[in-house]
Amino acid sequence: MPYTNCEERGASMFKSLGRKWSEKLEFGIFTLPVLICIAVAFYIPFAMTIRYSLTKWNGIAKNPTFVGLDNFKQIFMGDTNFANSAWFTIKYAILYIVLVNVLAILLAVILDMKLRTSSWLRAAFFIPYILSLVIVGFIWKFIFMQGFESLGESTGWGIFNLSWLGEPGLAFISILLVSIWQSIGFYLVIYIAGLQSVPGDLKEAATVDGAGPVRRFFSITLPLLAPSITISVFMALTNSIKVFDVILSLTGGGPGGTTYSIAYDIYRDTFQNNLYGYGTAKALILFVAVLFVTIIQLTIFKRREVEA
């Protein structure tokens, strides 16, 4: 009898091990195509990016010339265009993140009220987000150049006679306004979803305790919007740091290169000046910067979510 029990236990253990190995094999068979696709689409190009960033290459020559860290030295020590584009991107990112989130929260609070036209207004704000920023840039370029001229002649207001795309400060404001106008509907949807998840009992209890609308918003609604704020700030941060298409279609980097972002500077060096190795080095720096800032932002906001 003891030998029989041992044999039965051994057989059951063998079957369980065989079942586990078969499950692992099945899991590997189903995930292998996905891993191959990820490697082909991301890891292999990323490894090639690191390789080309250490070379001098015009995109045509068969064998790139290895230059080591010379590209990075030139970028950080002697490239004024990169420094100016980095400063432009930082200013744009800070203002875009703050303005688009503040405006989206205010609009979400208004549209979350029981208004007759709230559904239509939500659709009206979201429709521009469906359009490509390249198309939006060309549309607003026509508005700034010809539409404002007609409005200035008909109304006599001096604001329409300003050179919105011809002066550096106004061109920066134009890019910022167009970007916010196009994307605010996306963040609006996120905040409306967050507002609808706020328990109504808490608001009613605060009202009974004598809290006004402003106090209820800052004490109850805003802290409970922390997950939505984290998502929206993360999306706004990544989108603003790699801003490119609206600049390409609206100002083309002008006037005089004052609206170059880092992404546009990479495009200009790589595809217009045929400095593929140099441009790849800039792209790698941008990737590391976005990764570093994103990790810091998510860490800080996730910690505040837990505290809230």
DSSP 125-179: HHHHHHS-HHHHHHHHHHIIIIIHHHHHHHH--GGGGS-TTTSHHHHHHHHHHHH
Query: Is the per-residue pLDDT at 93 higher than 90?
Result: yes
Residue pair 71/54 in contact (Cβ under 8 Å)? The answer is yes
Asked whether residue 68 is assigned to any structural domain, the reply reads no
- Report how far residue 126's alpha carbon sits from residue 232's, in angstroms, rounded to the nearest whole number: 15
Buried b (16+ CB within 10 A) or exposed e, 111-134: bbeeeeeeeeebeebeebbeeebe
Pick the closest to residue 84 from 254, 256, 245, 260 (CA basis). 260
* Residue whose tokens read 């941008």: 286
The residue ranges of DSSP E strands in the chain, in sequence order, are 55-56, 65-66
**Interior CA angle at 180 toward 144 and 237, to 5°?**
135
Peptide bond into 255 cis (omega under 30): yes
The residue ranges of DSSP E strands in 148-256, in sequence order, are none
Q: Does residue 48 sit in the same domain as residue 182?
A: no
Q: Does residue 40 sit in the same domain as residue 157?
A: no
In this structure, which amino acid lies at residue 164? W
Torsions phi, psi for 233 (to 5 deg)? -65, -40
Buried b (16+ CB within 10 A) or exposed e, 184-200: bbbbbbbbbebbeebee
180 band by pLDDT with thresholds 50, 70 and 90: very high
List of residues 6+ apart from 195 with CB closer than 8 A: 108, 109, 112, 221, 225
Min mean pLDDT across 26-35, 172-181, 237-246 is at: 26-35
Q: Does residue 43 sit in the same domain as residue 119?
A: no
Q: What is the pLDDT of residues 278-293, one digit of tens each?
A: 889 999 998 888 888 8
pLDDT at 1: 46
DSSP state letter for 64: P
Asked whether residue 112 is assigned to any structural domain, the reply reads yes
Torsions phi, psi for 40 (to 5 deg)? -70, -40
Asked whether residue 31 is assigned to any structural domain, the reply reads yes
pLDDT at 203: 72
Q: Does residue 232 sit in the same domain as residue 277?
A: yes
Q: Does residue 146 sit in the same domain as residue 11?
A: no
Q: What is the pLDDT of residues 263-281, one digit of tens each?
A: 999 999 888 888 888 889 9
**Domain CATH number, residue 146:** 1.10.3720.10
Q: Does residue 93 sit in the same domain as residue 200?
A: yes
175 band by pLDDT with thresholds 50, 70 and 90: very high
How many CA atoms lie less than 13 Å away from 62 in the CB half-sphere? 0
Q: Does residue 143 sit in the same domain as residue 35?
A: no
Asked whether residue 288 is assigned to any structural domain, the reply reads yes
pLDDT at 19: 66
Element (DSSP H or E) covering residue 270: none
- Of the chain, the percentage scoring pLDDT greater than 90 comes to 16
Q: Does residue 103 sit in the same domain as residue 17?
A: no
Pick the closest to residue 176 from 93, 108, 287 (CA basis). 93
Residue 92 structure tokens:
């744009």
Q: Does residue 44 sit in the same domain as residue 82?
A: no
Query: Is the per-residue pLDDT at 147 higher than 90?
Result: no
Asked whether residue 69 is assigned to any structural domain, the reply reads no
Asked whether residue 153 is assigned to any structural domain, the reply reads yes
Q: Which domain holds residue 253?
A: 75-307
Asked whether residue 58 is assigned to any structural domain, the reply reads no
Q: Does residue 101 sit in the same domain as residue 45?
A: no
SS3 content of the chain, % helix, strand, coil (to 5): 80, 0, 20
Q: Does residue 44 sit in the same domain as residue 91?
A: no
Q: Does residue 79 sit in the same domain as residue 188?
A: yes
pLDDT at 205: 78
The domain tally of the chain equals 2
pTM over 0.95: no
List of residues 6+ apart from 260 with CB closer than 8 A: 81, 84, 85, 88, 247, 253, 268
Asked whether residue 290 is assigned to any structural domain, the reply reads yes
- Report how far residue 260's alpha carbon sits from residue 254's, in angstroms, rounded to the nearest whole number: 8
